[in-house]
Amino acid sequence: MSDRVAVVVGAGGDIGGACAHRLAHDHNVVLCVDRDEARAESAAASLLARGHRAEALTADAADEAFADTVRAGALAFGRTASMVHAVAHEEHAAAAGMSRRSVVQSLIVGPVAAFCLFRAFVSGDALAGGASLVAIGSLHASVPFPGCVGYNAAHGALAQIVRTLANEWAPRRVRVNAVVPGWIRTAGEDGLYGADHLDRVSPLLPLGRFGTADEVAAAVGYVCSQDAHYVTGSFMTVDGGLAASLARLPGGAA
């Protein structure tokens, strides 16, 4: 049994996978959770291949039993020191045509699942002392993205979950933070926008390129490290200056 368990939800994705690799260096075991069994297995296998200890768990954040399933899976190894929620439901459609089902799915997979997961570990005595709970947020929590109302709303709510829990759980010495990526070149983004389009956009970004999943994971690694023991309720932006570049007034000076 160990008090250095890490749990990554969405470990089969680019950002979640990078977080799992980053946390594997200073945790004894990483529980790689994904709703896609093959992705969960492959995330765990890639850690095992590098000599780390890892276990795959297939579970869907949209399910009511999700939080209890993940807590039971993690407790088999010991108490959790670090946990990352890195999943979202992102459908692109005009708001007038967006279904209720899609908006509800975004809210359930994002803020509701993160809340239930974090609560299950706190109330179920499954966290190590000084544990770090991290949500992967989005700039769209405050800067709405046209054609993505459910995703925007979910990230806005997720940000408030982070702030509220950080406040309520500080006396328990449980830290709750968000790491907020800008535009990260992942397989999912290539699928949504097409590689050619992203190749054209890349030099137009403030730093002349997209961010990488490893750069997001480095911030997660910091937030979960001893160096960040006084960091809670924070939003660490890893966006290459994207948010700072957004204030362009229509017809205004360049």
Ligand X SMILES: NC(=O)c1ccc[n+]([C@@H]2O[C@H](COP(=O)([O-])OP(=O)(O)OC[C@H]3O[C@@H](n4cnc5c(N)ncnc54)[C@H](O)[C@@H]3O)[C@@H](O)[C@H]2O)c1
Q: Which spans of this chain sit near ligand X (rule: CB under 6 A)?
A: 10, 12-16, 34-36, 39, 60-62, 86-88, 109, 136, 138, 181, 183-184, 186-189
Phi, then psi, of 159 in degrees rounded to 5: -60, -40
Give the shortest CB-163-to-ligand X separation in angstroms: 17
**At 122, is the secondary structure helix, strand, or coil?**
helix
For the chain, the residue count is: 254
Give the shortest CB-184-to-ligand X separation in angstroms: 4
Cα 208 to Cα 6, 145, 158, 179, distances in angstroms: 33, 21, 29, 21
Residue 51, Cβ neighbours under 10 Å: how many?
7
Tokens 């997660």 correspond to 220
Contact criterion met (CB below 8 Å) for 215 and 238:
yes
Give the shortest CB-13-to-ligand X separation in angstroms: 2
As a whole number of angstroms, the distance between CA 7 and CA 113 comes to: 14
Give the shortest CB-140-to-ligand X separation in angstroms: 7
Nearer to ligand X, 93 or 170 (CB): 93
Angle (deg, nearest 10), helices 213-223 and 14-24: 50
As a whole number of angstroms, the distance between CA 135 and CA 98 comes to: 25
Nearer to ligand X, 10 or 73 (CB): 10
Residue type, 42: S
Nearer to ligand X, 88 or 133 (CB): 88
Residue, CB closest to ligand X: 13
Give the shortest CB-252-to-ligand X separation in angstroms: 27
Contact criterion met (CB below 8 Å) for 116 and 67:
yes
Nearer to ligand X, 67 or 128 (CB): 67
Nearer to ligand X, 90 or 131 (CB): 90
Give the shortest CB-52-to-ligand X separation in angstroms: 19
- Residues in Cβ contact with 55 at an 8 Å cutoff, skipping those fewer than 6 apart: 29, 30, 31, 32, 44, 73, 77
Nearer to ligand X, 61 or 174 (CB): 61
Nearer to ligand X, 34 or 55 (CB): 34
As a whole number of angstroms, the distance between CA 20 and CA 249 comes to: 40
Give the shortest CB-80-to-ligand X separation in angstroms: 17
